[in-house]
Amino acid sequence: SGKSLLIRVFTFSIIIELIGTFLIFSSYQFDYKMLFESVFHSISAFNNAGFILSDDFMNSLNLKWYFTILIFLGAIGFPTLSDVFSNFSKKRNWKTLHLTTKISLLSSFMLIFIGSIALYLLESTSIDGSLLEKITDLIFHSTSGRTAGFTAIDFSTLGFPLLITFIFLMFIGASPGSFGGGIVQVRFAALDTNTTFSANTDDFLSLSITPTSASNKILLDLRVRCQGFWATSEDSWHFYV
């Protein structure tokens, strides 16, 4: 129901942002003067907003990792978070995850990997430090550049090929039901296709993708009969992206 959905979204948001606040606050040795900034940056990162009150994270590996994790959680979507949490609490495995959850997770990791490799190959001179610092910067900018906007390097100095790569990643964006923008990953996977998939299993899935030739828009009709995050009173959900 709508009330149940609202409660889950609110609960996930509060819990994740509180944990993020604690981690960021710990980086400041729990200096009470930095409490508001810790809360602000935790909310900003999880909501993929990109707003900052200071540039302290630019020189802190811990803060970059905290920001990266918060951005990632905010970009994979509440249906994915709910499904992963449900599977983890019931000690299930990868096979029991919903189709959209698998698409969200796999595509997210793949896009982060592509962005990191592109940044390393095209602009490795812009990233200094030890191996750990370079890996942190690559993953941080690949994750943030796609949906949030936090940056520790001057993008105005980057070459045209890398800028096009990040524009492409921003165009794809985040997962359905998330704080990120873009055309969302499921739409991109379905671009210029006309696919129908069905599986008669414990969790019946029916996926149909139909492009509109005139406007090149894609309608994704996803019905899942299961105890899913978006379950309706009829124990099924109809999801458009």
Q: Which residues pair with 221 in a beta bridge?
A: 208
pLDDT tops 70 at residue 224: no
pLDDT at 191: 63
The residue type found at 104 is S
Angle between helices 160-172 and 131-147 (to 10 degrees): 50
Q: Which residues pair with 178 in a beta bridge?
A: none
pLDDT at 46: 96
Residue of 157, 209, 149 lying closest to 173 (CA atoms): 149
H runs (alpha helix) in the chain? 2-27, 35-46, 61-75, 78-89, 99-123, 131-147, 160-172, 185-190
Distance from C-alpha of 106 to C-alpha of 124, rounded to nearest angstrom = 26
pLDDT tops 50 at residue 232: no
- Over residues 68-73, the mean pLDDT reads 96
The residue type found at 64 is K
Measured between its terminal Cα atoms, the distance across the chain in Å is 19
pLDDT tops 60 at residue 239: no
Q: Which is higher by pLDDT, 140 or 96?
A: 140
The residue type found at 65 is W
Residues 14, 109, 230, CA angle at the centre, nearest 5°?
50
pLDDT at 143: 94
For the stretch 186-205, pLDDT in tens is 777 666 444 444 444 444 44
In this prediction, residue 152 has a pLDDT band, given cuts at 50, 70 and 90, of: confident
Q: What is the pTM of this model?
A: 0.76
Tokens 């492409």 locate to 168
pLDDT tops 90 at residue 135: yes
In this prediction, residue 103 has a pLDDT band, given cuts at 50, 70 and 90, of: confident
Taking CA atoms, 184 is separated from 72, 87, 158, 203, 221, in Å, by 14, 24, 25, 24, 14
